[in-house]
Amino acid sequence: MPDSSISKLFEKSRKERLDIVGTFANLSSDELNILQNENGGISYENADKMVENAIGTFSLPLGVATNFTINGKDYLIPMVIEEPSVIAAASKGAKIARIKGGFEVTADESYSIGQIQVLDADESAIQKITNSSDEIINLANSKSKSLPKMNKGAKEITCKTIDTPSGKMLIVELLIDVGDAMGANITNTMCEAVSPLIEKITGGKTLLRILSNYSTRRIVKARAVFEKEAVGGESVVDNIIKAFEFANNDVYRAVTHNKGILNGIVSVANATGQDSRAIEAAANAYAAKSGQYRSLSLWSKDSEGNLIGELEIPLSVGIVGGIITVHPVAKVCTKILGVASAQELACVMTATGLAQNFSAIHALSTEGIQKGHMRLHARNLASSAGATSQQIDEIVQKMIEEKKISLDGAKELLKQI
């Protein structure tokens, strides 16, 4: 089984990194070329088919996080993000989690929720819908060739009423097993297809027919044990728990804390071509499910004093359909991950979010984030200046001591040693 604990990947050249990732994921030379293509992704022709008024494409850095073991399997995790330190932080969190076996993650099946808003329905509408649920489900499933064949597709109907300033409304919800797709399109198609039948059954008038991005039937739960000594000892473990309590009880801190979690999740979402806005909207709603916006993660310690991290989020992702069919880099990134299902991808993304959160609150409750951030920045500059792996540590140390953290400073120091 490939091993993701690759030490000092940041000190290697681009070619060495690509060789390592290529061997790990068994990438072909074509796939390696796609990663090296400086255009970094889709062609203008494809962009022009995807959005209106296209004038170009836009690329961002792609890196890989190391050290991840998730449910007993090793992963190198492609992450697309503009922010420094995030990939290093995820790798560091995963390295410590690895000591105790890595991340254990479970994901619900991929049930998408479609909503149909019904106005002016009569009192017995809910009963009538329940009586006709087979007919509605069959009509919904007639809109997909592939899902029913895989024993997936529309499975359940639920109804609720809501009170609004315009009066009572009936909301019919269609639960659809969308398999390995994110499922927005098929959910919207099915909702629109069944709405005339729902009008006929209820005597009401349907208005909105749309997927809900609050994907509470796609919950993912990750857990990892962070060994006490590797975390920095008992007092650091206790301070991390206090940092969590701050986030869990103060909305201003909770938003930033959860943003750190989303740094991890959204970077993988970007790399694999997911709808990151849907993911963030659902995660933020879930953070407020108690009525107060709180931390999405939970930090505690076990009887031996090891730190326990848990993260539970709704996560709607896919490995078929969507942008992945047109974006060559997203395709290669999904291959690097080696995920066989949407659920496996959701598990990887949630573990990345938890690792990221660990490293952020670890840094914040010890030395602060700026020191590590500057050290990393200095390391990248030393490497860009042409320092060898033997020279990097010395140059970084000097740049920090002399407070000269720039490319020119790194070049100057390189000349001197």
Binding segment toward ligand MEV, per CB under 6 A, in 4-12, 145-153, 182-190, 360-368: 360-368
CB of 80 to ligand MEV, least distance (A): 15
217, 108 in Cβ contact below 8 A?
yes
Q: How far apart are CA 208 and CA 32, in angstroms?
A: 45
Choice between 214 and 299, CB closer to ligand MEV? 299
Q: How far apart are CA 216 and CA 123, in angstroms?
A: 28
361 sits near ligand MEV (criterion: CB under 6 A): yes
Choice between 259 and 411, CB closer to ligand MEV? 259
372 sits near ligand MEV (criterion: CB under 6 A): no
Tell me which residue of 212, 278, 287 sits closest to 250, measured CA to CA. Answer: 287
Cβ of 92: how many Cβ atoms within 10 Å? 21
Choice between 112 and 270, CB closer to ligand MEV? 270
Handedness of CA 57, 61, 66, 69 (dihedral sign): negative
Beta strands in 279-338 (DSSP E): 297-301, 307-314
256 sits near ligand MEV (criterion: CB under 6 A): yes
Coil, strand or helix: which one is 67?
strand
259 sits near ligand MEV (criterion: CB under 6 A): yes
Choosing from 275, 310, 312, 412, which is the catalytic residue?
A: 275
369 sits near ligand MEV (criterion: CB under 6 A): yes
Coil, strand or helix: which one is 176?
strand
Amino acid in the structure at residue 48: D
376 sits near ligand MEV (criterion: CB under 6 A): no
Task: Give the count of residues interacting with ligand MEV (CB under 6 A).
Answer: 10
Choosing from 373, 377, 404, 411, which is the catalytic residue?
A: 373
Choice between 198 and 262, CB closer to ligand MEV? 262
Choice between 23 and 256, CB closer to ligand MEV? 256
The phi and psi torsions of 223 (rounded to 5 degrees) equal: -145, 140
378 sits near ligand MEV (criterion: CB under 6 A): no
322, 182 in Cβ contact below 8 A?
yes
362 sits near ligand MEV (criterion: CB under 6 A): no
CB of 258 to ligand MEV, least distance (A): 8
Q: How far apart are CA 58 and CA 388, in angstroms?
A: 32
Choosing from 3, 16, 83, 135, which is the catalytic residue?
A: 83
CB of 199 to ligand MEV, least distance (A): 47
270 sits near ligand MEV (criterion: CB under 6 A): no
198 sits near ligand MEV (criterion: CB under 6 A): no
- 68-107 residues in contact with ligand MEV (CB under 6 A) are 83
Q: How far apart are the first and last CA of the chain?
A: 42
Residue nearest to ligand MEV (CB): 260
Q: Which tokens hold the place of 192?
A: 């629109």
CB of 356 to ligand MEV, least distance (A): 8
352, 78 in Cβ contact below 8 A?
no
Choice between 271 and 360, CB closer to ligand MEV? 360
219 sits near ligand MEV (criterion: CB under 6 A): no
CB of 361 to ligand MEV, least distance (A): 6
Coil, strand or helix: which one is 124?
coil
353, 345 in Cβ contact below 8 A?
no
263 sits near ligand MEV (criterion: CB under 6 A): yes
Which residue is it, tokens 């849907």?
Answer: 278
Q: How far apart are CA 378 and CA 302, in angstroms?
A: 37
Choice between 181 and 296, CB closer to ligand MEV? 296
Coil, strand or helix: which one is 111?
strand
Which residue is it, tokens 């359940």?
Answer: 156
**DSSP conformation class of 320:** B
360 sits near ligand MEV (criterion: CB under 6 A): yes
- Residue 275 annotated as catalytic: yes
Binding residues for ligand MEV (CB under 6 A): 83, 256-257, 259-260, 263, 360-361, 364, 369
Catalytic residue annotation = 83, 259, 275, 373
